[in-house]
């Protein structure tokens, strides 16, 4: 059934794709963002792709007065909570900022949702909560041993959401653990637009292929994997966005808190991703092996069967589509400004 859905962090990389997917499914997205890591121009792009009026509220998810106003002004029945800080390296240098925005921001949001009687919540968690897994593929029961402050803010938020659902059976909460989102909307109107040097492999390759950076540094050639480079599960951002629409439909029927992996369910090595990207952009990237990055792990990919079994969703776009769409977005500028 169509509903009004608040998307916090709705002008960010993932939130903007979710907003468009919500509109495509007949929902009305309301975006909330403080634009600390996004551009105002995203809003018009989302409106253009959504084809419906999309309201965007500018403000901080920790601002309870603002949140109360949003729930008062809009008939919101569910929230998709993407707002947060996400840079693993920065989280080590600024732990209090990360706990404040990610944990405290989620607490404030849940508090005001409770007051407003809105009890359906989809939370953007991350596969980084697993750390180095003992068994592959990683399922939702795996131990949680995050290696970074960022990962621990996600684990803490997950924990309090589970406690909340235990304490009050009215809550319907989906905790979605994303693997490695990449790619862009096929229209090339929205995509990942990191400020400064990208931290993630695909956007970095886009900018190297566009001549903005000279060379790709591959972090480690001696990992215990078939080609010596790290293996990750890359999920197309469009699949990820559609996973949120599926989670909302599922939540309507299910109380409690449920944790669900969103991944493709198979891993690709860094060298495989580079090869796929070079094919998509028709160029060979300059690259060199560097040392391993502290905190990195050799290999992880999702057991994504719970999402399919319970929500009827699975990722359908493979690595070639991720690379083709990311490159199309880069060729269209790869930025909003």
Q: Annotated catalytic sites, by residue?
A: 150
Pick out residues in 119-178 that bind ligand NAD (CB under 6 A): 124, 126, 178
Closest alpha carbon to 319 in 138, 225, 183, 210: 183
300 binds ligand NAD (CB under 6 A): no
Longest dimension (CA), the chain: 55
DSSP symbol at 128: G
Cα 261 to Cα 287: distance, rounded to the nearest angstrom = 32
Report helix, strand or coil for 117.
coil
Smaller CB distance to ligand NAD: residue 108 or 283?
108
Residues paired with 175 in a beta bridge: 123, 259
Report strand pairing: 120-126 vs 28-33.
unpaired
Closest alpha carbon to 117 in 167, 172, 62: 172
34 binds ligand NAD (CB under 6 A): yes
6 binds ligand NAD (CB under 6 A): no
Strands (DSSP E) contained in the chain are 4-8, 28-33, 55-58, 76-81, 120-126, 172-178, 180-182, 216-219, 231-232, 234-236, 256-262, 268-269, 287-290
Q: Which two tokens stand for residue 125?
A: 């968690």
**At its nearest, how many Å lie between ligand NAD and the CB of residue 115?**
19
Cα 275 to Cα 117: distance, rounded to the nearest angstrom = 50
Query: Which range touches ligand NAD (CB under 6 A), out of 33-41, 45-53, 91-99, 313-321?
Result: 33-41
Residue whose CB is nearest to ligand NAD in the complex, by number? 12
29 binds ligand NAD (CB under 6 A): no
9 binds ligand NAD (CB under 6 A): yes
Q: Which of 29, 105, 146, 151 binds ligand NAD (CB under 6 A)?
A: 105
Smaller CB distance to ligand NAD: residue 219 or 283?
219
| 8 A C-beta contact, residue 3 and residue 28 | yes
Would you give the binding string for ligand NAD spanning residues 77-96, x where CB under 6 A is met?
Answer: -----xxxxx----------
Query: Which range touches ligand NAD (CB under 6 A), out of 11-19, 166-174, 253-261, 314-322?
Result: 11-19
Count, residues near ligand NAD per rule CB under 6 A: 26
Smaller CB distance to ligand NAD: residue 95 or 228?
95
Q: What is the DSSP string of 27-38?
A: -EEEEEE--SSS
**At its nearest, how many Å lie between ligand NAD and the CB of residue 300?**
13
Smaller CB distance to ligand NAD: residue 14 or 50?
14
229 binds ligand NAD (CB under 6 A): no
Pick out residues in 35-64 that bind ligand NAD (CB under 6 A): 35-38, 60-62
**Cis peptide bond upstream of 137, omega within 30:** yes
Residues paired with 269 in a beta bridge: 231
Cα 81 to Cα 108: distance, rounded to the nearest angstrom = 12
313 binds ligand NAD (CB under 6 A): no
98 binds ligand NAD (CB under 6 A): no
Smaller CB distance to ligand NAD: residue 195 or 309?
195
Residues that bind ligand NAD (CB under 6 A): 9, 11-15, 33-38, 60-62, 82-86, 101, 105, 124, 126, 178, 181
């Amino acid at each position: 059934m169509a509903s009004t859905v608040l998307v916090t962090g709705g002008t960010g990389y993932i939130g903007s794709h979710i907003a468009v997917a919500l509109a495509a499914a007949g929902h009305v997205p309301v975006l909330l963002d403080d634009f600390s890591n996004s551009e105002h121009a995203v809003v018009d792009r989302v409106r253009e792709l959504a084809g419906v009026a999309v309201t965007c509220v500018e403000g901080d998810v920790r601002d309870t007065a603002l949140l109360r106003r949003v729930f008062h002004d809009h008939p919101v029945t569910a929230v998709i909570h993407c707002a947060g800080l996400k840079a693993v390296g920065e989280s080590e240098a600024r732990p209090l900022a990360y706990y404040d925005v990610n944990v405290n921001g989620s607490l404030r949001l849940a508090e005001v949702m409770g007051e407003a009687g809105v009890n359906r919540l989809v939370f953007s968690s991350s596969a980084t909560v697993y750390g180095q897994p003992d068994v592959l593929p990683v399922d939702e029961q795996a131990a949680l041993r995050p290696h970074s402050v960022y990962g621990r803010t996600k684990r803490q938020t997950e924990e309090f959401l589970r406690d909340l659902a235990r304490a009050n059976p009215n809550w319907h909460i989906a905790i979605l653990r994303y693997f490695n989102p990449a790619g862009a909307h096929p229209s090339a109107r929205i995509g990942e637009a990191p400020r400064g040097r990208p931290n993630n492999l695909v956007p970095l390759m886009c900018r190297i292929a566009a001549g903005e950076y000279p060379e790709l540094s591959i972090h480690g050639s001696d990992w215990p994997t078939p080609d010596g480079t790290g293996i990750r599960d890359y999920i197309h951002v469009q699949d990820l966005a559609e996973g949120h629409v599926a989670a909302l439909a599922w939540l309507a029927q299910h109380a409690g808190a449920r944790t669900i992996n969103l991944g493709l369910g198979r891993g690709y090595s860094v060298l495989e991703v580079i090869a796929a990207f070079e094919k998509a952009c028709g160029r060979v990237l300059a690259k060199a092996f560097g040392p391993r990055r502290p905190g990195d792990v050799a290999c992880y990919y999702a057991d994504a069967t719970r999402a399919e079994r319970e929500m009827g969703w699975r990722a359908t776009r493979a690595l070639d589509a991720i690379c083709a769409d990311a490159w199309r977005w880069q060729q269209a500028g790869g930025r909003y400004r």
